[in-house]
């Protein structure tokens, strides 16, 4: 199973011609076998490159088709998208999220009878809904449906 690793951001600007050297040094420092990188500036991909190995033992390199578990990085991306919709007036932070959910609803429970679950609670992990850990999917394992 591949895992996703996020390199620590640096407060200093890295010149474009030093990006590869910086990425490789950070991979070595943090023992990261392989990554796929995209640098986005102004909504446009300005650089994309794969580094290292998807399978170090078999010397299989990371390619643009290599699948990585996205892990907790998806939380930040979903939060940004949700808050953009709040800013545009398409969602509300404090309304019942079941009013917006179409194909699935948060099941009624003792918790939801007292107060409905809100987007604010979901984004701040205070809704009472949680999954302690998700191991992701192994290669070849059938993935769950979107629903």
Of 35, 52, 68, which residue constitutes the final position of a domain? 68
Task: Please compute the mean of the pLDDT values over residues 11-27 and round it to a whole number.
Answer: 78
Band of the pLDDT at 40, cuts 50, 70, 90? confident
pLDDT at site 4: 39
Report CA torsion sign: 93, 95, 96, 99: negative
62-74 per-position pLDDT tens digit: 999 898 877 677 7
Looking at the structure, do residues 120 and 139 belong to the same domain, yes or no? Answer: yes
Of 18, 40, 68, which residue constitutes the final position of a domain? 68
pLDDT of 3 over the 60 cut:
no
Looking at the structure, do residues 40 and 85 belong to the same domain, yes or no? Answer: no
Looking at the structure, do residues 33 and 58 belong to the same domain, yes or no? Answer: yes
Band of the pLDDT at 97, cuts 50, 70, 90? very high
pLDDT at site 15: 67
Instruction: Kindly give, in sequence order, each residue whose CB lies less than 8 Å from that of residue 110, ignoring residues fewer than 6 positions away.
Output: none
pLDDT of 110 over the 90 cut:
no
Average per-residue pLDDT in the chain?
82
Domain count along the chain: 2
Task: Please compute the mean of the pLDDT values over residues 9-35 and round it to a whole number.
Answer: 80
Domain that residue 142 falls in? 72-147
Contact predicate 122/93, CB 8 Å: no
Tokens for 94?
């404090």
* Whole-number Å distance between alpha carbons of 73 and 45: 18
């Amino acid at each position: 199973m591949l895992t996703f690793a996020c390199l620590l951001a640096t407060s200093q600007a890295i010149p474009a011609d030093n990006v590869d050297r910086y990425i490789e040094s950070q991979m070595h420092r943090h023992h990261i076998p392989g990554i796929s990188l995209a640098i986005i500036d102004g909504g446009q991909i300005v650089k994309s490159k794969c580094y290292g190995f998807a399978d170090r033992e078999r010397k299989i390199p990371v390619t643009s088709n290599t699948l990585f578990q996205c892990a907790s990085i998806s939380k930040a991306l979903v939060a940004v998208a949700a808050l953009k919709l709040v800013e545009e007036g398409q969602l509300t932070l404090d309304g019942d999220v079941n009013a917006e959910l179409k194909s699935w609803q948060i099941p009624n429970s003792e918790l939801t009878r007292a107060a409905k679950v809100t987007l604010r609670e979901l984004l701040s992990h205070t809704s009472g809904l949680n999954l302690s850990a998700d191991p992701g999917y192994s290669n070849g394992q059938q993935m769950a449906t979107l629903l």
